[in-house]
Amino acid sequence: MRGLHTRRLTGGGQRVPLAPPVRTAGRVPLALPVRSSRFGVALAEPVAHASAEPVAHASAEPVARVLLLFALTVAWTGCQSPAWQFAENGVFSERTAPMASPRVALRPRGDEGDSGDEGDSSLFASAKIGTVPVVRAQYTAEGGRSVPSLLPAGTQPVASGFSVGGDRAAARESYDSSGGQLAPVSGPYAQQPLAGGAAPATGPWAPVHPRDAENPAHGVLDDLPPIGNDPIWDPARFIPLRPQLAGTQTGRLMFGVGVNSDMGMYGSVVIDEQNFNWTKFPRGWEDIRNATAWRGDGQRFRVEAMPGTEIQRYMINFQQPYLFYSDVSLGLSGHYYTRIYREWSEERLGGQIAIGYHFNHALTGSIAYRGMKVTLYDPIEPTPFDLEEALGDSALHGFEARLAHDTRDSQFLATEGHLIEMSVEQVIGTYVYPRAEVDVRKYFLLRQRPDGSGRHVLAVNGRMGFTDSETPIYEHFFPGGFSTIRGFDFRGAAPRDPATGVVVGGHFQLLASAEYLFPITADDMLRGVIFCDTGTAQPSIDDWRDKYRVSPGFGLRIVIPAMGPAPIALDFAFPAAHNPGDRIENFSFFVGFLR
């Protein structure tokens, strides 16, 4: 007889085997076509092949009966198999195998008295140890999907637990090199000897975990590792990496022009290096040209020259954040400062030494010494007594202790976190007096976009300062202006001398402010603010003769990337409570830094 005839089904597009053609005495082949339906395949009427010979019709009923009997036999045999009985007994009632990856294959194990071929490689070969099924899986890292094994046709995968996808070529090579024989299982999943001396099964679906024989009540997936490349289950993979590191630019040379309502117009030239090394001297012009001289130790070095119409400042600053690779910091600075006020002109020449300690990422403390020569000249007429007494040169030596806890996300435009800073100082020299200040700021993030932009922030802050009655006039507190109380001129809300009406400042200061910051543009380049500044300075802590100033207002914050992180601030404020003689200035602006 010839091979089975096939015919393409109209619905599925596949060919199904038909019964062999029945030949009659006239040698006319008779084929049995099929008809496709929703519920399977049904036999159609017989169709005779065209031939010149006479056709003898044969009945298709015996063949159909044979096919139906064969299908029922196969179905009944599957229902009586150990795997079907295993699932029917409710083993999966509490522990159901997952429908997703990994792909699992179950093999029930017969009792010790069961017979079976130990070398059988079929799925249901008996293992003769207990009744718990063996679970095998092959998992790949391709998006968490399970794929079947790609070993050579006619073979079964080696039972070795999880295998990482991508090793298919290695599996084929192992199979070919072994002469077509699969390697025995080794490691923690090797076959273990059974109780009573029974030999374990040797097929590819042999038992793989020793505790299965001891505790048959294990669940189906108890012995499987978590999905993923756990280093305990998957072998280590060594990837040859060759990192190429290059230092970023840490130094800056900046030129700028600034203007604000407190200091007038000024220019600025700044050399700033955040990775300075004072011991790395240049060995030639090449080290200077390629910027490798004096760099590489993480120190900070800054030289600044700021000439202006009302202020001139020249400063050099060095900081070692981690002295001797510890949490101790060292700071050295020197400065020359000239300032022209409405009431007098002032000149300061001096320096400072500070030693700090990092308790943690937010809490720092420091002790510092500052020494300077202060010269007051060109006083206003009439001259108040406090100013006349301080004219000329005086020596100032201050010893300060400072503690700060700073969790702000930015020093220029903070949107969350807080700052708590306290300092006490004892000053000696020409004048002897104590001084103490407290600064508390809190930033509440009210809302933001999912990507973290468009932040709405409520900021509240308060400051308090106290100094002794022996303090010279140039160390008094002078509120008024952008950095203290907006809506007033610089130093325009400070106490005045009763006899001359000249601003002389106070020995006690209390400031409080609330500000709401919100975005105007989608890129956060333009923001708006609504605020209310309050505060006062009094001749002494127990003499509150001046009113408490209140000044609400609104403004804008403009961020220009080329100018750095500090925005341009434009504010309008309208004092609601003020003293007679206060200098009102509704518009204030800063370019370059904030309050």
Residue-wise pLDDT tens digits, 154-213: 444 444 433 334 444 444 444 444 444 444 545 554 445 545 555 555 554 444 444 444
When mean pLDDT is compared across 67-76, 275-284, 366-375, 431-440, the lowest value belongs to 67-76
Residue-wise pLDDT tens digits, 321-340: 999 989 999 999 999 999 99
When mean pLDDT is compared across 39-53, 164-178, 455-469, the lowest value belongs to 39-53
The reported pLDDT for the residue numbered 199 is 52
Greater pLDDT, 447 or 215: 447
Residue 422 contacts residue 437 (beta carbons within 8 Å): yes
Residue with tokens 């949107």: 415
Residue 297 contacts residue 276 (beta carbons within 8 Å): yes
Whole-prediction pTM: 0.59
Give yes or no for residue 562 having a pLDDT over 80.
no
Q: Cα(463)–Cα(512) distance, rounded to whole angstroms?
A: 6
pLDDT > 90: percent of the chain: 45
Q: What's the whole-number average pLDDT of the chain? A: 74
**Averaged pLDDT for residues 225-243:** 62
Give yes or no for residue 353 having a pLDDT over 50.
yes
**Averaged pLDDT for residues 38-62:** 45
Three-state SS at 453: coil
Q: Cα(143)–Cα(421) distance, rounded to whole angstroms?
A: 51
The reported pLDDT for the residue numbered 412 is 79
Q: Where are the domains of the chain?
A: 6-79, 97-235, 321-591
Query: What's 25's DSSP letter?
Result: T
Residue-wise pLDDT tens digits, 107-147: 444 444 444 444 443 333 333 333 444 444 444 444 344 34
Domain 321-591 sits in CATH at 2.40.160.50
The reported pLDDT for the residue numbered 535 is 95
Q: What are the structure tokens assigned to 386, written together?
A: 């406090």
Residue-wise pLDDT tens digits, 509-526: 999 999 999 999 999 999
Give yes or no for residue 446 having a pLDDT over 90.
yes
Q: Cα(372)–Cα(346) distance, rounded to whole angstroms?
A: 12
